[in-house]
Structure 1
Amino acid sequence: MSAASYLLPYDFSPITVLSFALVLGLYGVALLRLPEADRPGPGRIITFVAGVLLCYGVMQTRFDYYSQYMFFVHRGQHLILHHLGPILIALSNPLPILRFWYGRLGPGAHRMFRPLGLVYRILQQPAIASILFVGLIYFWLWPPIHFDAMLSRQLYWLMNWSMLLDGLLFWWLIFDPRSPAISNALGYGKRILLLALVAIPQMILGAWIVFSRGMVYDVYEVCGRAWPMPPETDQLLGGLLTWIPPAMMSILGILIILRRAMHEDGKFTSRKTVTEGPAS
Structure 2
Amino acid sequence: MSLLDYLLPYDFSPLTVLSYMLVMGFYGIGLLRMPNQDRPGALRIFAFTLGVLICYAVMQTRFDYYAQYMFFVHRGQHLILHHIGPILIALSNPLPIIWFWFEKISPGWRRTLRPLGWVYQVLQQPLIALFLFVGLIYFWLWPSIHFDAMLSRDLYWVMNWSMLLDGLLFWWLIFDPRPPAITSSLGYGRRMLVLAAAGVLQMFLGAWIVFSRDMVYDVYEVCGRAWPLDPEVDQLLGGMLTYIPPAMMSILGILLMLRRAMHQDGKYTNHSKTLAETAS
Length-normalised TM-score, structure 1: 0.96
2:176 corresponding residue in structure 1: 176
* Cα shift at 1:173: 0.2
User: CA separation in 1, counterparts of 2:173 and 2:269?
Assistant: 26
* Cα shift at 1:95: 2.7
* Cα shift at 1:81: 0.1
User: CA separation in 1, counterparts of 2:118 and 2:101?
Assistant: 19
The alignment covers a number of residue pairs equal to 277
Alpha-carbon displacement from aligned partner over 1:49-78 (angstroms, at most 9, x marks no partner): 000001000000000000000000000000
Listed as ranges, the matches of 1:83-122 within 5 Å are 83-104=83-104, 105-107=106-108, 109-122=109-122
Aligned-residue identity in percent:
73
* Cα shift at 1:276: 4.7
Q: Is the 8 A contact 2:140 2:159 kept in 1?
A: yes
* Cα shift at 1:275: 4.3
User: CA separation in 2, counterparts of 1:83 and 1:25?
Assistant: 23
User: CA separation in 1, counterparts of 2:241 and 2:168?
Assistant: 20
User: CA separation in 2, counterparts of 1:185 and 1:246?
Assistant: 24
Which amino acid in the other structure matches residue 184 of structure 1?
A: S
* Cα shift at 1:137: 0.3
User: CA separation in 1, counterparts of 2:95 and 2:110?
Assistant: 17
1:266 corresponding residue in structure 2: 266
Listed as ranges, the matches of 1:210-221 within 5 Å are 210-221=210-221
What residue ranges of structure 1 are gaps of 5+ in the alignment? none
Which amino acid in the other structure matches residue 123 of structure 1?
A: L
Asked if residue 155 in structure 1 is aligned to residue 158 in structure 2, the reply is no
Length-normalised TM-score, structure 2: 0.96
* Cα shift at 1:201: 1.2
Which amino acid in the other structure matches residue 269 of structure 2?
A: T
Alpha-carbon displacement from aligned partner over 1:146-196 (angstroms, at most 9, x marks no partner): 000000000000000000000000000000000111111100000000000
Which amino acid in the other structure matches residue 8 of structure 2?
A: L
1:165 corresponding residue in structure 2: 165
SS in 1 for 2:38: coil
Q: Is the 8 A contact 2:29 2:101 kept in 1?
A: no
* Cα shift at 1:3: 1.8
1:187 corresponding residue in structure 2: 187
User: CA separation in 2, counterparts of 1:159 and 1:150?
Assistant: 9
What residue ranges of structure 2 are gaps of 5+ in the alignment? none
Asked if residue 238 in structure 1 is aligned to residue 238 in structure 2, the reply is yes
Q: Is the 8 A contact 1:38 1:96 kept in 2?
A: no
User: CA separation in 2, counterparts of 1:254 and 1:198?
Assistant: 11
* Cα shift at 1:273: 4.5
Tell me: CA distance 1:102–1:66, structure 2 relative to 1, closer, same or farther (3 Å): same
2:59 corresponding residue in structure 1: 59
2:32 corresponding residue in structure 1: 32
* Cα shift at 1:131: 0.2
Q: Is the 8 A contact 1:39 1:96 kept in 2?
A: no
User: CA separation in 2, counterparts of 1:118 and 1:271?
Assistant: 33
Which amino acid in the other structure matches residue 50 of structure 1?
A: L
Which amino acid in the other structure matches residue 124 of structure 1?
A: Q
User: CA separation in 1, counterparts of 2:224 and 2:47?
Assistant: 36
1:75 corresponding residue in structure 2: 75
User: CA separation in 1, counterparts of 2:26 and 2:111?
Assistant: 21
Which amino acid in the other structure matches residue 249 of structure 1?
A: M
Q: Is the 8 A contact 2:129 2:170 kept in 1?
A: yes
User: CA separation in 1, counterparts of 2:114 and 2:275?
Assistant: 40
